[in-house]
Amino acid sequence: MMDKPLPRRATAVSTDRVGGADRARNPWWDNARFLSAALIVILHTGGSLLAREEVLHSFHIATWAFRVPAFVMLAGVFSSAGPLGPRSLRTLLQSIVLPALAFSLLYSLEKYWMGNEFTVHVVQLPWTLWFLMSLFFWRLLLPLVVQLRHPLLVTTGVALAVGYVEEFGLAFSASRTLVYLPLFYLGWRIGQGFLSTWFTSRWSLFVAAAGILASCVVGWLWHRDIKGNWLSMRHPYSVADPLSLEWAWVIRLLVLASAAALVLCLLRLMPRRRLPLITTLGAGGFTIYLLHPLVILPVRELGWISRVNTPIEIVGLVLCAILLTMVLGSPPVRHLVRPLTRPSTGWLFAPAPPGPQQPERVPAHAPPVPEPVHTP
């Protein structure tokens, strides 16, 4: 029963995705993508206000699992654990590597236009582009991970142990890649039909609602006690951790377990039917994720966001962030920037040799949807 594939309903064909062929979309995933993308844009728009405004900071903590962890698990849902043949490797280059390099260059040019020194980012991609670098390595690691006897146990052990190795940090997004790998694998398992009982049972609906409520309560009451480095997954453990360096892994384990549980709660409550506007915009989660820093950065550098200080202005800022999410996820914008988000690679690769091509294996229960994202 646990491995029965989740019920799916074919809708439109994907035009905005990472690392897979176009397949019929499921509105359930697109609805979740839009929510996660909107939360990411709202919090990135808030920026420095998070430390100053109690409401925004509590919102930041309460919704953390619905942003980056949700995007990681959704990325796993849409990934294949089949052998990485020539076609898969070309797709990875086209949909992950080239967009990452293109938007890294755009980011550098924008910073230079604002008066900063021009910098070429290779080892450590700027701002949110770390996700694409990690996504590339997750896709490379997944065919190996699924062959382990206990994949979730092993990847979780690695995620906890890497906090004691100082060499794993921001370079090549090494720390985040290994720490979030269990969530990526869990997302892939969900795409294979794992936990179908949770997503279809009536009792789980009430549990999921209680989980979301608990996240809101924790965010409101204890948001100042939860440290940012616990959630960032970027740095090694510190002697300043409340459980001491020896037991710092316990905090990371609790954070990862809470993130996985809350994402499952979010997906359980997410409508599976096509929602007006939301589902269409959610299909552009990858585009939203890539474009929003380029819009937010100049506004932040000009000091406009830091001037926000009244409740009305904060509400206005949140509404502007939601509007930005909707604009960037709209079909016209996605079509306009498609040469950057899905660049042509015909100029890069030699023509395929003549003769029959060996078909690539696809997971038996791969969901008919195509993008990870968007999304931190």
Say which residues have a Cβ less than 8 Å from residue 238's Cβ, sequence separation at least 6: 229, 245, 248
Report pLDDT for 208.
97
Report pLDDT for 252.
95
pLDDT tens over the chain, length 376 residues: 344 444 443 333 333 544 343 346 899 999 999 999 999 999 999 888 888 888 999 999 999 999 999 999 999 999 989 888 888 888 899 999 999 999 999 999 999 998 888 988 888 888 899 999 999 999 999 999 999 999 999 999 999 999 999 888 788 899 999 999 999 999 999 999 999 999 999 999 999 999 999 999 999 999 988 988 889 888 888 877 777 888 999 999 999 999 999 999 999 999 999 999 999 999 999 999 999 999 999 998 888 888 888 889 999 999 999 999 999 999 999 999 999 999 988 788 877 655 444 444 343 443 433 333 333 4
Report pLDDT for 24.
65
Q: Which amino acid is at 332?
A: P
Say which residues have a Cβ less than 8 Å from residue 267's Cβ, sequence separation at least 6: 28, 32, 190, 199
Report pLDDT for 354.
58
Sign of the C-alpha dihedral computed for residues 46, 47, 53 and 58 taken in this order: positive
What's the CA gap between 223 and 262, in Å, rounded? Answer: 16
Report pLDDT for 353.
58
Q: Indicate yes or no: pTM above 0.85.
A: yes
